A and B are shown apart, each in its own frame.
Chain A
Amino acid sequence: MLKIEHIYWVLGAFLVYSAWLNLRERQRAMAGFWAILACPFLFGDLILAALADGTRWPAQAMGVGVIGLGVMAARGGMRSHSDDAAAEALRRTAASRLGNRLFGPALAIPLATLVLVLVAPYLRWAATPLIEARHATLTALGLACVLAFIAALRVTRAPLATGLGEGRRLLDALGWAALLPMLLATLGSVFAATGVGDVIAGLVDAIIPIDSQFACLLAFALGMVLFTVIMGNAFAAFPVLMAGVGLPLLVLRHGADPAILGAIGMLTGYCGTLLTPMAANFNIVPAVLLELPDQYGVIRAQWPNAVALLLVNFALMWLLVFQP
């Protein structure tokens, strides 16, 4: 049975390979960076299993590794592989030679993911499903990437080392930005463990006049946005704001419709996601991937949508949730 862990092992092996290539070129900082990052993929299950059994040192060692990654990222030493004119001429000739066949493997990632997700429930060997249902979509994405890579090697007739080397070139170019989404999610967990959410919810409760429907709804909407901006994730903001304002004040006290409040309230949080560098995988990583000079370039392109949708969402909630 194919599990998400198997995909993680492949990913970990690619990170180790990238570290090794960097080490061979005497890029020690970069090599160390990818080597540490490979650990959660190669040993992640062991670390979590040990923690569940009460053995804490592997998780603590990983924590030291996380701090190490932060220090290495800050000291720089990240480099991008420059693009010369010869490479561009090569790309042009290859593009005209291969034509639309180049699209095949690129489109194979989304299409194979789609097909695998749809057929996964029916793929069985005896009674065992071939793809574990627990993380079926992510497993399908990982498997689709492997299949697309094989297809890309066949279309371009490039040796395996070239393929992996090009992947490593992009990984080096991403540098610390590749790691940021994982770290931010980690920070979200730390915030939850240290009770940041409860403190903020307490502050909100102390400020708003609870008898006013409008004030409560406004506090809920702005709280969702603000909290999402801080945490980088509307999913983290939702339970906090719901427990602090939504449920006790809007639903129980003012009789708001819970389904509408929940659905549009969550979407109000998404407006915050469009605004914050904390949502790195949506806002910072693409800026690096697209080689934008401004790391906030994507946020700059989408903030008007966020503000307009915030107004729409607030108006929808105000009109809909208090209907009897």
Chain B
Amino acid sequence: MNYWPLLGVGVVVVGFVMRKNPVLVVVLAGIASGFGAGMHPGDLLAVLGSSFVSNRALLLMVMTLPVIGLLERFGLRERARDWIAGFRGLTLTRFLLSYLGLRQVLSMLGLTNVAGHAQTVRPLVAPMSEAAAERSIGPLDEGERHRVAALAAATDNIGLFFGEDVFIALGAVLLIQGFYAQNGIELEPLAIALWALPTAIAAFIIHAIRLVHFQRRMQRRARPPASPEEDRPC
């Protein structure tokens, strides 16, 4: 067996660990893997070019940028922050858990592209999370603001990943069914999709626990001598 194509994997690992520019790392890894497999340079270029074209749907998020950019110039993020700050009783935990639940349910219905980092997280969810955190914790410093924003992005990812597998008509379930069908095992899509439910519920519970802990930790650090009344996180 020819082990040289693994050279590409090595380039990826070393490149990401050394924090080189990811674009360059990926291009070099592709070239290394191609040469390792003994591909003709012409073939390698054709594979690179054609698969780049085939995967162009991944850049579709750029379509949202003019909308988001224009609204941001006219104060969308500021407005999102102010609006959330007006809700009494809204905490970071409650806000992000509601978003997680909504995202999971939408993904279960196959509506994976309805939300996302460009569409909803940057313009709405991240500034709203900051405002909700400031409501329950007080002013955030730079590092805390970044951690809240990162948590908002993570919430979106978790909601998407652990919801979409329950949807039967596209993506994961059809891939699983197709693989088994090729190998002579016929399964109903619904039979596969239902088994994604336990993990979907576990993902929600685990994230809920983490959010509660995150908020408690930040509250403790923000104002150590708070009265017990105020210290209650939810």
Contact = CB atoms under 8 A, between A and B. Distances in A.
A290 B73 contact: no
Interface string A287-305: 1011011110110111011
B223 interface: no
Contact of A94 (B49, B75, B172): B75
Contacts of A87: 73
A199 B9 CA distance: 11
A62 B46 CA distance: 8
A102 B74 contact: yes
B45 A60 contact: yes
A317 B165 CA distance: 16
B185 A258 contact: yes
Contacts of A98: 74-75, 79
A4 B63 CA distance: 13
B67 A109 contact: yes
Nearest to A153: B70
B47 A189 contact: yes
B199 A274 contact: no
A120 interface: no
B113 A67 contact: no
B12 A278 contact: yes
Interface string B15-48: 0100111111011111101101101001011111
A196 B78 contact: no
B69 to A, nearest CB: 3
Interface string A186-220: 11111101111011101000000000000000000
Nearest to B73: A166
B22 A286 contact: no
Contact of B79 (A102, A167, A273): A102
Interface in A63-110: 63-67, 69-71, 73-74, 87, 90-96, 98-100, 102-103, 105-106, 109-110
A259 B75 contact: no
A239 interface: yes
A11 interface: yes
Interface residues of B, number: 122
A62 B50 contact: yes
Given A167-B65, A170-B68, A259-B192, A70 B27 contact: yes
Nearest to B19: A295
Nearest to B22: A180
Contacts, number: 425
Nearest to B15: A277
Given A48-B54, A293-B146, A110 B22 contact: no
A247 interface: yes
A29 interface: no
A7 B51 CA distance: 19
A202 B199 contact: no
Contact of A258 (B12, B82, B157, B187): B187
Contacts of A183: 23, 26-27, 52
Contacts of B87: none
B64 interface: yes
B210 A305 contact: yes
Nearest to B39: A194
Given A60-B46, A194-B5, A100 B59 contact: no
Given A170-B65, A290-B153, A66 B37 contact: no
B114 to A, nearest CB: 4
Contacts of B152: 290
Given A230-B12, A263-B192, A51 B55 contact: no
A301 to B, nearest CB: 4
A74 B21 contact: yes
A94 B112 CA distance: 32
B227 interface: no
A305 B154 contact: yes
Given A67-B27, A190-B48, A302-B158, A167 B66 contact: yes
Interface of A: 4, 7-8, 10-11, 14-15, 37, 40-41, 44, 47-48, 51, 56, 58-67, 69-71, 73-74, 87, 90-96, 98-100, 102-103, 105-106, 109-110, 113-114, 117, 135, 137-138, 141-142, 145-146, 148-149, 152-153, 155-156, 158, 162-164, 166-171, 174, 176, 178-191, 193-196, 198-200, 202, 230, 234-235, 238-239, 242, 247, 251, 258-260, 262-264, 266-267, 270, 273-274, 277-278, 280-287, 289-290, 292-295, 297-298, 300-302, 304-305, 308-309, 312-313, 316, 320
30 contacts: A7-B60, A14-B63, A59-B45, A59-B53, A62-B53, A63-B44, A63-B47, A67-B48, A70-B23, A73-B21, A100-B79, A102-B75, A110-B115, A114-B111, A145-B67, A162-B70, A166-B72, A191-B5, A194-B33, A196-B9, A199-B5, A238-B175, A264-B195, A274-B161, A281-B117, A287-B153, A302-B154, A305-B210, A312-B202, A312-B206
- Please provide the 3 A-B residue pairs with the shortest distance between their CB atoms, ordered closest to farther: A95-B75, A167-B66, A62-B49
